[in-house]
Amino acid sequence: MEFTARQISDMLSGTVQGDSDVKVSRLSKIEEGVPGSLSFLANPKYTEFIYETKASVVIVGKDFIPEKHVAATLIKVEDAYAAFAKLLEIYHQIVRDKKGVEQPCFIDQSATTGIDIYVGAFAYVGKNAKIGNRVKLYPNSYVGDNVIIGDDTTLFPGVIVYSDCVIGKSCTLHAGVIIGADGFGFAPSAGSYNKVAQIGNVIIEDFVEIGSGTSIDRATLGSTTIHKGVKLDNLIQIAHNVEIGENTVIAAQTGIAGSTKIGKDCMIGGQVGIVGHLTIADNTKIAAQSGVGTSVTEPGQIIQGSPAFSISDYRRTYVVFKKLPDLDKKIQELEKALAEIRQTIS
């Protein structure tokens, strides 16, 4: 789609400096601008590029005053970064504004679907599933029996939602996400392991985003629950009966073992491992690559390490750890000197 500088300026409540009729049809970085593209300048470190960019239109702050000729048309706004972010969201909505049912796909006769949905080719919707308004099921997505998906939720290609799971409104599940696979439950018996049936489900509340390749297991009994506003990165493993509190964010490659309860507004770095049956208090921050083996009961703590403990103690400990080779050398020198003294005395 094409937009003129004037149309973009109207969207952003800005003012045009230059050719208001110039058209753009794509977005670009200011240093990589090409004719027909729209860019922005928010960081002063990139100011030099505005004088040489080939972008047709550049969004700038209202206080920007060129020191030399700028070929691009400028749109002056209160906050260039916020304005460009707004345009990205508009562009995002336009690109993803899909509707209709592509063929071949399968929607069971007992399933119910809302208005303005999109069902891509080779998607599958099972028995008694309930699909809300404006839901988007991209190609090769799978929605099992009795699944409920709320309004304005998007499942990208290859997302699999097993039977009986519930997904709320305005959620985004990126490619390859798996919701509701069996939890890792096996009972040891005479040198073998007998599978424990996993008959619960997964409940994902509203405004949750889940990155590609993440897997959330169904509960043994009851529900694995992801509360409102949670943001999960790619390649995360969440085991059976885990509960994650509202607005918690978790970075890639983190693994959370079964029945652990994580509080609200927590921040968990990449490659963190959390053992099962723990409680993590609200507002806890866990540094990347930490291993959490005990509950965090006091809200607002920052922990690091494996095993993880207070970050201030960890930093003091790490200073000593870095000096261990020197300390070992000194100890060896002292032991050698002590041995020489003993030999002299004897």
State the DSSP string of 71-123: -SEEEEES-HHHHHHHHHHHHHHHHT---EE-SS-EE-TT-EE-TT-EE-TT-
Same domain, 309 and 320: no
Query: Which entry of 69, 92, 227, 240 is annotated as an active-site residue?
Result: 240
Considering the chain, what is the average pLDDT of its residues? 94
Retrieve residue 37's tokens. Answer: 């593209």
Q: Are strands 148-149 and 166-167 parallel, antiparallel or unpaired?
A: parallel
Is the preceding omega at residue 299 within 30 degrees of 0, hence cis? no
pLDDT of 135: 98
Q: Of 43, 68, 95, at which residue does a domain stop?
A: 95
For 283-314, write each residue's pLDDT tens digit: 999 999 999 999 999 999 999 998 888 888 88
**CATH code, domain with 8:** 3.40.1390.10
Model pTM score:
0.83
Q: Which domain holds residue 32?
A: 3-95
Same domain, 303 and 334: no
Same domain, 49 and 71: yes
Strands laid side by side in the 243-244 sheet: 112-113, 130-131, 148-149, 166-167, 201-204, 223-226, 243-244, 261-262, 279-280
Burial of 195 (0-12, 13-18, 19+ CB in 10 A): exposed
Structural domains of the chain, count? 3
| 300 DSSP assignment | T
Same domain, 289 and 226: yes
For 143-186, write each residue's pLDDT tens digit: 999 999 999 999 999 999 999 999 999 999 999 999 999 999 99
Same domain, 109 and 227: yes
For 82-140, write each residue's pLDDT tens digit: 999 998 888 888 878 899 999 999 999 999 999 999 999 999 999 999 999 999 999 99
Q: Of 95, 120, 143, at which residue does a domain stop?
A: 95
Tell me, yes or no, if 240 is annotated catalytic: yes
Beta-carbon count within 10 A of 39 CB: 27
**E strand or H helix that includes residue 134:** none
Give the 3-state secondary structure of residue 8: helix
**CATH code, domain with 277:** 2.160.10.10
Same domain, 133 and 246: yes
Spatial contact of 300 and 283, defined as CB atoms under 8 Å apart:
yes
Spatial contact of 252 and 288, defined as CB atoms under 8 Å apart:
no
Q: Of 39, 74, 95, at which residue does a domain stop?
A: 95
Same domain, 88 and 128: no
| 44 DSSP assignment | G
